[in-house]
A and B are shown apart, each in its own frame.
Chain A
């Protein structure tokens, strides 16, 4: 009974699975370094941020265990990032159209 109160309900991530996530993160890092060497203009920024976001998702969902948490916590984290996106996005609505 004590167990149910004090841990995450016994959901354990396997060593092999964690190593797989690590390998995926390493591949992403290699991709982002290699893509940066090619001059794609503005697309370089898009690629760098896209790969970084893919890496962030891997860390949040699996290393930080969010994929296996209850929906309340998942929505809370989602909303925190939505607020950050609004903050950055609205600033750029202003900046981008400023002469």
Chain B
């Protein structure tokens, strides 16, 4: 009988290499933020006060909790508790949806004040404030896409767990999906204070 060889360490290293490109992608945007913040201190301060700390804080709690759930789902599968693993994955995806619904309300409030990418109102604001909002939409938008993709990936893994393609003795795909999800959390850990709190 020939067993297909799977290299666990290489699978995980490959995932980390991909995550490095994600870190540098967001890192470049953080660098842009830092450079413009350095140049327009007061404008960033004023624009930052318009963001909703409660919604931003709630989303921080939601994402950190979702990170806990995905870690618990891995522990459950390692212990051979398949149904428990699936429940925690479902809860993680639910948290991702809660995050996106919050984001929808937050962005809607900004849109109703005429602040959205390319709006006339944004063009009339002082340069520093316009830059702040442009970075805010670009960075939280890119992060939101990552939340959506991460949730979709966890959904696929959940289906694989149901069909035993991911199981107690072969779960590196679940671990890698979890790593991606934690990275999404990691980016938000920096986005939250930089946009919502430093004002």
Contact = CB atoms under 8 A, between A and B. Distances in A.
B3 interface: yes
Given A73-B16, A95-B35, A13 B193 contact: no
Interface in B60-80: 60-61, 64-65, 67-68, 71-72, 74-75, 78-79
Interface in A51-80: 51-52, 55-56, 59-60, 62-65, 69-70, 72-73, 76-77, 80
A52 B75 contact: no
A91 B31 contact: yes
A13 B64 CA distance: 17
Contacts of A63: 67-68, 71, 178, 182, 185
A29 to B, nearest CB: 5
Nearest to B11: A6
Contacts of B74: 13
B16 A29 contact: no
A12 B8 contact: no
A48 B195 CA distance: 11
Contacts of A33: 53, 57, 197
Contacts of A13: 71, 74-75
Interface residues of B, number: 53
The prevalent SS among residues of B at the interface is helix
A49 B193 contact: yes
A81 B190 contact: no
Nearest to A50: B193
B27 A12 contact: no
A89 to B, nearest CB: 10
Contact of B197 (A7, A25, A32, A55): A32
15 contacts: A5-B5, A5-B7, A5-B8, A7-B78, A7-B170, A7-B171, A10-B78, A32-B197, A36-B197, A44-B198, A63-B71, A73-B12, A80-B20, A92-B34, A92-B38
Interface of B: 3, 5-9, 12-13, 16-17, 20, 23-24, 27-28, 30-31, 34-35, 38-39, 53, 57, 60-61, 64-65, 67-68, 71-72, 74-75, 78-79, 169-172, 175, 178-179, 182, 185-186, 189-190, 192-194, 197-199
Closest 8 A/B residue pairs (Cβ): A48-B193, A36-B197, A22-B68, A80-B20, A6-B170, A84-B27, A12-B78, A64-B182
